[in-house]
């Protein structure tokens, strides 16, 4: 259905859908949605693997190329809008101990590359 809707060019329909959805600025994975004039607000972001121990910031988006990754991120609560803190970074394999909603998790470097956070 969404695939079909994206080809409809009715300004009225687009405005009504936008209003119905609460004027979202990002999609469920955190990717920006253009405004009515087609402009996208770009927020500087980096992948979590590029942060240091002690980093704390908002998850802005997650890469959505792998269903298994998305299931895992959902399981640990790593969603756009959540605050994530890097508790420790393992030198050996660059895995991370992180905290989301006061719950601690260990994630691999590969997973951390797919979580985009505010710079």
For residue 30, give both structure tokens: 């955190």
User: Residue 2's domain spans which residues?
Assistant: 1-42
Average pLDDT, consecutive stretches of 10 residues, N- to C-terminus, the chain (119 residues): 62 72 62 69 87 95 86 94 96 96 96 94
> For residue 95, what are the contacts with CB-CB under 8 A and spacing of at least 6?
89, 106, 107, 108, 109, 112
Same domain, 65 and 86: yes
Q: Helix, strand or coil for residue 26?
A: strand
Same domain, 16 and 74: no
Into how many domains does the chain fold? 2
Residue 40 is predicted with a pLDDT of 72
For residue 36, give both structure tokens: 């009515």
Same domain, 49 and 38: no
For residue 2, give both structure tokens: 């969404």
Residue 115 is predicted with a pLDDT of 96
């Amino acid at each position: 259905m969404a695939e079909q809707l994206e080809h409809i060019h009715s300004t009225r329909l687009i405005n009504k859908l936008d209003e119905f959805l609460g004027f979202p600025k990002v999609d469920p994975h955190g990717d920006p949605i253009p405004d009515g004039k087609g402009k996208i607000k770009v927020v500087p972001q980096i992948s979590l693997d590029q942060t240091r121990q002690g980093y704390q910031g908002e998850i802005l988006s997650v890469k959505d190329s792998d269903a298994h990754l998305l299931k895992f991120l959902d399981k640990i609560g790593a969603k756009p809008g959540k605050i994530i803190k890097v508790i420790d970074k393992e030198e050996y394999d660059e895995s991370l101990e992180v905290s989301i909603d006061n719950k601690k998790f260990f994630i691999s470097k590969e997973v951390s590359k797919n979580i985009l956070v505010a710079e």
